[in-house]
Amino acid sequence: MYTIFRNLSVNALTAPADIDRRIGAVAAKTAGLPPDVLRSWRILAKSVDSRRGAPQLVYTLLAEVEKTSSAARKLEPVPPEMLAQFEAPRLELPETTLLHPLVVGTGPAGIFAALALAMAGTRPVVLDRGPEVEPRFAAVQHFLETRELEESANLLIGEGGAGTFSDGKLYTGTRDGNSGFILNAFAEAGAPAEIRYLKRPHIGSDRLRLVAAGLRKRILDLGGEFRFGVEVTDLLLRDGRCRGVVTASGETIEAPLTLIAAGLGGRELSRRLRERGAACEFKSFQIGCRIEHPQELVDRRQYRLTGSRPEALGAAEYHMVSHPQRAPGVSTFCMCPGGEILNATAWRGRSVTNGMSDYARAGEFANSCLIVTFPPEKFTGPDAAYARLEALEKAVFEQGGCDYTLPAQDAAAFLRRRNGLSSRRTSCRCGIVPGRIDRLLPEELGAGIAAALTHFDRLMPGFIRHGRLIGAETCVSSPLRFLRDPATLESSLAGLYLGGEGAGCAGGIMSAAADGLRLALAMLRRG
């Protein structure tokens, strides 16, 4: 019979590093079962609870036990009809006659749309202005070593989108019925199997490259086609309908239906879509600034440790929010434990920060972005908002010395509005130089961060003393949201579907992937 062990708690300070492999034996012992009675088991959920005393690892397990055991009779069985919910999640695909739809962009929204379309047998054609992930990685390494930026192959542009060089965080506040399918698809493409059950799963930048290639291979095996190095600059409009796209080389590519998920690096394409009549609304968006701390500080504060971090625990994370009365609210965003800060620009002469971590999260430093929301009424329109972002990116570049080095300032010096960078030791491979972040940031962001630093220091003592602010982050979210028909999800231009972060319809890997799936299913029903 099958049973579920819930709230199985293990002291993380004494647990072995491979506790996930041994947790079945712990479950059997807790239930008073002989080890040989447990036929099989798998983890359904795992989280860390460090709210009181020593941090605890908390598990939920689905286990098959020998029904004839007297000890097993005390356990509550899972009815056979309920076991289906624990099987690998499936994607329900409608029947369709659609063939060769076009997908622009290989970030999470584009790639999962392409995957669903390929699974339905439509043989989609997928375009990306950047290269495949392998040459993209080489271009990124070249940039980090030489500061020579390739505008179509960088930390923002290319296969996998901006998320390829990130922490690969897969947790989201968005509730979507296909989340299990997305996690399973990532795991089948090479992501760690544990993403299926961790409360806060992540893939890691080193493994994301393999995952991007794995998803591409699956789509190719299903009959899809990829064309890299193809920049879409316009729509092919005929009789009031989108019939495909026009590329930078002047080539026209026709398609029965077109999906564009250009990401936050596709500002120029978003501008062209507006000019071509795709209806949109100007919405709130975020600007932020990275802050870096020793990971050891975060571990001690979050796990309530007096010594080093135990082997069973990964690098600690945090999420904090500040709601001051006389300054804008601030929240931490895209926290990267044991990670590094990047200059993730896609534009020459402009600097944009971001953060990433490899799977092990073994770096010396932790970083996160402190973000403030800017309402649309602060600007005369979306063009003014984009101009504000670009001006800030240029100012960061210039203050860093015009070679993609990033300006930095100790958090304490920022609060005193003085010069001050106590150390240039950093995770940022582009390096840091003393800067005046207090003068660089927009007034609203600066005021919000000043109030947030004081609040966060109360929650995590040492946040100010050991923190330093680095650069500015301008690719957090889009100032635009393209409008979609509630029933068909088409844009205001027939035959055109717009989605993902660049379209203002998602925020993060999971929500973007889910949005891509929604659009693909809508296209299949339409086709």
Residue pLDDT, tens place only, 370-416: 999 999 999 999 999 999 999 999 999 999 999 999 999 999 999 99
User: Do 107 and 246 fall into the same domain?
Assistant: yes
- Does the structure show a pLDDT above 70 at 496? yes
Q: What angle do CA 402, 405, 408 make, to 5 degrees?
A: 115
User: Do 148 and 250 fall into the same domain?
Assistant: yes
User: Do 522 and 431 fall into the same domain?
Assistant: no
- Does the structure show a pLDDT above 90 at 253? yes
Task: Please list the alpha-helical segments (H only) found in 355-496.
Answer: 382-399, 411-416, 437-440, 443-459
User: Do 296 and 437 fall into the same domain?
Assistant: yes
Of 70-84, 176-190, 336-350, 416-430, the poorest mean pLDDT is in 70-84
In a domain, 93, yes or no: no
Residue 329 three-state SS: coil
Q: How many domains does the chain have?
A: 3
pLDDT tens digit string along 264-273? Answer: 999 999 999 9
User: Do 389 and 416 fall into the same domain?
Assistant: yes
CATH number at residue 11: 3.30.70.2700
pLDDT tens digit string along 417-453? Answer: 999 999 999 999 999 999 999 999 999 999 999 999 9
Rg of the chain over Cα atoms, rounded to whole angstroms, equals: 24
Which residue has better confidence, 402 or 172?
402
- Does the structure show a pLDDT above 70 at 75? yes
Please provide the distance, in angstroms rounded to a whole number, between the alpha carbons at the two ends of the chain.
45
Q: pLDDT-based confidence at 154, cuts 50/70/90?
A: very high
Token pair recorded at residue 343: 């200059």
Mean pLDDT of 32-52: 88
103-120 burial, b for 16+ CB within 10 Å, e for fewer? bbbbbbbbbbbbbbbbbb
Mean pLDDT of 29-54: 88
Residue 152 CA to its chain's centroid (Å)? 21
Q: What is the pLDDT of residue 67?
A: 75
| Cβ count near 400 (within 10 Å) | 23
Q: What is the pLDDT of residue 174?
A: 65
- Distance between CA atoms of 35 and 179, rounded to whole angstroms? 34
- Distance between CA atoms of 38 and 3, rounded to whole angstroms? 10
Q: What is the pLDDT of residue 74?
A: 80
Residue 8 near residue 27, CB atoms below 8 Å: yes
Mean pLDDT of 475-482: 97
Average confidence score pLDDT of the chain: 95
Amino acid at 207: R
Task: Please list the alpha-helical segments (H only) found in 417-490.
Answer: 437-440, 443-459
User: Do 186 and 130 fall into the same domain?
Assistant: yes
- H or E segment and range at residue 11: strand 2-11
CATH number at residue 276: 3.50.50.60
With pLDDT > 90 as the criterion, what percentage of the chain qualifies? 87
**Residues in contact with 259: Cβ distance below 8 Å, sequence separation at least 6, in sequence order:** 101, 102, 103, 104, 110, 113, 496, 497, 498, 499, 516, 519, 520, 523
- Distance between CA atoms of 40 and 88, rounded to whole angstroms? 17
pLDDT tens digit string along 513-524? Answer: 999 999 999 999
> Residue 156 belongs to what domain range?
102-280+480-526
User: Do 500 and 435 fall into the same domain?
Assistant: no
Domain end residue (candidates: 473, 496, 512): 473
In a domain, 95, yes or no: no
Domain end residue (candidates: 22, 57, 86): 86
Closest by CA position to 463, among listed 474, 475, 451: 451
- In the block, tokens 């076991």 appear at 83
- Does the structure show a pLDDT above 80 at 231? yes
Mean pLDDT of 357-381: 96
- Distance between CA atoms of 140 and 287, rounded to whole angstroms? 24
In a domain, 502, yes or no: yes
Q: What is the pLDDT of residue 173?
A: 67
Its pTM stands at 0.95
Mean pLDDT of 489-495: 98
Which residue has better confidence, 527 or 366?
366
In a domain, 92, yes or no: no
